[in-house]
Amino acid sequence: MDFDLSPEERALQQKARDFAEAHLFPNEMAIEEHGKLPADILANIHRQVLACGFNAINHAREHGGQGFSLFHQMLVNEEFGKATGGIWGAAWQPAIPLKDGTPEQRERYLVPSCRGERFYCFAITEEGAGSDPRRVRTSASRRQGRWVLSGEKWFVTHGDVADFIIVHALAEGDPDKPTLFLVDKERPGIRVKRSPKFMHNYISEHVEFVFDAVELGDEAVLGPVGGGFELTKDWFVEARLKIAAHCVGAAIRATEIANRYAGERIQFGRRIHDFQAIEFMLADMAVEIMAAKSMLYRVAWDLTQSDDRKRAHAMASVVKLHASEMAGRVIDKALQILGGRGYMRENPVERLYRDVRVDRIWEGTSEIQRAIIGGQIKKRGLGLYTGWVGGAA
């Protein structure tokens, strides 16, 4: 078995690392100072994204993307995930269900999104519906040959900067007919209820939207009526792998900072790295990262070779669960090693500490990932997880 990266993959990884260090890291504190990324800085990063070929890495070249495999996306996202404040979101990756649109929808939404001319947000969660999608109350009813969309959505990330919204709603209010709708944000009947403040400062806002009898034509339906849940799960698979890659990158950056500090900090006449308490923390951190990175690379490679939708959903849950919980443990130790310096907002570890907490919540909580994994074990057996790649699937 050859577990090494090819020269081309190593070059891509280095290119992503260089991009993060040159264009993302220097602008992290702007998010802390302004609460989100100022428009002029964001516009400059967008220009660099296009110049370096990091736009729409998850979409085909024929649609204006870079055509990266899941594995190659993972290599890039790991490096970008080392940046704080979600600034990695400036290298846009349009929602994967857009590729399943009609030719007209792809031309109107996907192609300009890949070019960075349009930006989406995905509206799923509601006040009474998060982990349980059957409790969604946002509905689209047929009236005189049109769809009328009504409801309220919470935690819509990038809702302030997006110009169109992918809305997960129930056709005719039927929980068995979840459907995705492409909704231009300027349509009458859409309003922002509020933009709450959260634990982290972020590149953009997590908006609450109200949809008040928004009229839509059949051309707004993305995929089949009633097929929204499968398309949303496809989005979750990609999002969960991206989160896992970000978490591994964040843990690596925090550990590197803590290790460097431990090698320089002198107390009681010795480097604190030489005290067993610190040495053992760093050893545990290294082991956790190695285990999570091994899982991430294996799963990303495996899913690049496979077109099994259900298996992808099962594996994405495992790697998202493990990597997000690992990052929390590792970054907590990194902050402890840094002491008071680690608690200063100017220190990347402090910001990473706040950032990664949400990774155990959004795109499916840790508990939901465990429920998915447990359900897969019942349906497909332990071999799905305890076997090797492509084992008892």
CB atoms within 10 A of CB 91: 26
Indicate which residue of 28, 205, 238, 363 is catalytic. Answer: 363
Give whole-number Cα distances, 165 to 161, 168, 214, 263, 341, in Å. 11, 10, 12, 48, 41
350 a catalytic residue? no
User: Angle, nearest 10°, between helix axes 7-19 and 70-80?
Assistant: 30
| Cβ–Cβ under 8 Å, residues 385 and 370 | no
Give whole-number Cα distances, 152 to 15, 94, 131, 146, 178, in Å. 41, 23, 16, 20, 15
Structure tokens at 389: 């790649």
Rounded-to-integer distance, Cα 362 and Cα 366, Å: 9
Give me the active site residues, please. 363
